[in-house]
């Protein structure tokens, strides 16, 4: 009984770690699970999408929930993981509302984060043997 509990706890811990790794580094969860091709595609495609969003003057939104849409956009931006933290630390993502590509940039940044959250869910499903 105790051995089963310990095994279950270890498995839960591994799942949490896998999800955290998959969120922090896009594709890391799939690489961990041995799905190299998928992991590498996510590892390249999602950060590139995020970088394009920054390059065309998109904005990393502040966590201001007095305006719910801004707060939700900030959460979506954060979905990309470490690239968000690096970009914020380096001062990127101020955004330029006068740029013609501003809205496109926001779409790239937000969707990159949301896609990475889908990738996390996919890694979770693979770990549980559902896929």
Of positions 19, 20, 24, 48, contacts other proteins by CB under 8 A: 48
Of positions 52, 70, 75, 117, contacts other proteins by CB under 8 A: 52
**Based on C-alpha coordinates, what's the Rg of the chain?**
17
CB atoms within 10 A of CB 126: 19
The structure tokens listed for 3 are 């051995």
In the chain, which ranges are continuous DSSP H helix?
2-24, 28-32, 36-55, 68-78, 82-89, 102-127
**In whole angstroms, how close is the CB of 115 to other proteins at the nearest point?**
5
Largest CA distance in the chain: 64
**In whole angstroms, how close is the CB of 113 to other proteins at the nearest point?**
12
At residue 64, the 3 state secondary structure works out as coil
**In whole angstroms, how close is the CB of 62 to other proteins at the nearest point?**
24
Residues 16-45 that bind other proteins (CB under 8 A): 38, 41-42, 45
Residues 96-125, one symbol each (x = binds other proteins by CB under 8 A, - = not), give ----xx--x--xx--x---x--xx--x---
Nearest 10 degrees: CA dihedral of 74, 62, 96, 51?
-50
Chain residues in the site for other proteins (CB under 8 A): 38, 41-42, 45-46, 48-49, 52, 55-56, 100-101, 104, 107-108, 111, 115, 118-119, 122, 131
């Amino acid at each position: 009984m105790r051995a089963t509990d310990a095994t279950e706890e270890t498995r839960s811990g591994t799942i949490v770690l896998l999800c955290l790794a998959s969120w922090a580094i896009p594709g890391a969860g799939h690489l961990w699970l041995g799905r190299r091709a998928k992991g590498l595609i996510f590892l390249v495609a999602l950060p590139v999408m995020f970088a394009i969003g920054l390059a065309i003057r998109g904005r990393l939104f502040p966590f201001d929930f007095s305006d719910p849409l801004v707060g939700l956009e900030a959460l979506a931006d954060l979905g990309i993981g470490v690239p968000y933290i690096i970009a914020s630390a380096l001062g990127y993502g101020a955004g330029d509302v006068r740029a013609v590509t501003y809205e496109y940039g926001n779409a790239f940044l937000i969707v990159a984060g949301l896609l990475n959250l889908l990738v996390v869910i996919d890694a979770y499903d693979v770990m549980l043997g559902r896929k």
